Chain A
């Protein structure tokens, strides 16, 4: 399997495991998170599409390292997994900080403000 494909899958699994085992913010059970992801994926199409368009790409992928499935537009489908990992990790860290601050989680409180 192409390397970028493998790394993308590892990234997605790692983020999901980080949430389920470490951060435990519960976002995967919220409508709010999934609505956010749908919006993020929708906006990824024009932005990532512009970056990867084959007519004049800004980011140039080596074909052998992707599955070669480029949809929609010319976006390598792996990019959607990359985007999932990036935004999901951001959200769970953001939520986790909130939880530690308000003392809902069993963590040390490093912020004394």
Chain B
């Protein structure tokens, strides 16, 4: 268990997770005040932001007639290539040092030691938000009839 945790929890200083550290000791040098979180939400900050995105867009499906969650199979097939491609881009960005993530505002849980779970969640949540918007806009825009109209095209 310990080993698994150590492996999953990434370190800030490099790509590889640091051996022998636990998730609470790897906070960035000097970013956090000693003995406390720097923010109200702390490590959950990024995840909570994404949760907010999900909540805010829910009415699109349940009030404005978007049909995305109600098509789970189509949604899953759509998300698969998107998540894979953009996760690769993300990892390239981390490895090439284009960007990094504040350990104080992320959980530290990594996929393959490089991709924060928040980023994986981002590549699921944001496309869903986009599709909900697209679907709702399709519902709300005046439609040009061309033959038997698709029900939500």
Contact = CB atoms under 8 A, between A and B. Distances in A.
Contacts, number: 105
B153 A87 contact: no
A27 to B, nearest CB: 9
Main secondary structure of the interface of B (DSSP, over half): helix
Given A36-B137, A51-B46, A87-B126, A94 B74 contact: yes
A3 B78 contact: no
Interface string A16-44: 00000000000000011101100110010
B49 A89 contact: no
A84 to B, nearest CB: 10
Interface string A67-111: 000000000000000010011011101100110011000000001
B53 A3 contact: no
A1 interface: no
B134 A91 contact: yes
A66 B99 CA distance: 10
Interface in A50-71: 50-51, 56-62, 65-66
B150 interface: yes
A44 to B, nearest CB: 9
Contacts of B98: 3-4, 7, 61-62, 65-66
B137 A98 contact: no
Contacts of A7: 89, 92-93, 98
Given A61-B98, A62-B97, A51 B49 contact: yes
Contacts of A93: 77-78, 81-82
Most interface-central of A7, A47, A97, A98 (chain B CB within 10 A): A47
A36 B38 CA distance: 36
Contact of A102 (B97, B141, B150): B150
A33 B96 contact: no
B129 A59 contact: no
Interface in B80-117: 81-82, 85-86, 89, 92-93, 96-102, 105-106
A48 to B, nearest CB: 10
A90 B82 contact: yes
17 contacts: A4-B98, A7-B89, A33-B134, A35-B141, A36-B133, A36-B134, A39-B133, A40-B130, A47-B49, A58-B105, A59-B102, A60-B99, A87-B127, A89-B82, A91-B134, A97-B74, A101-B74
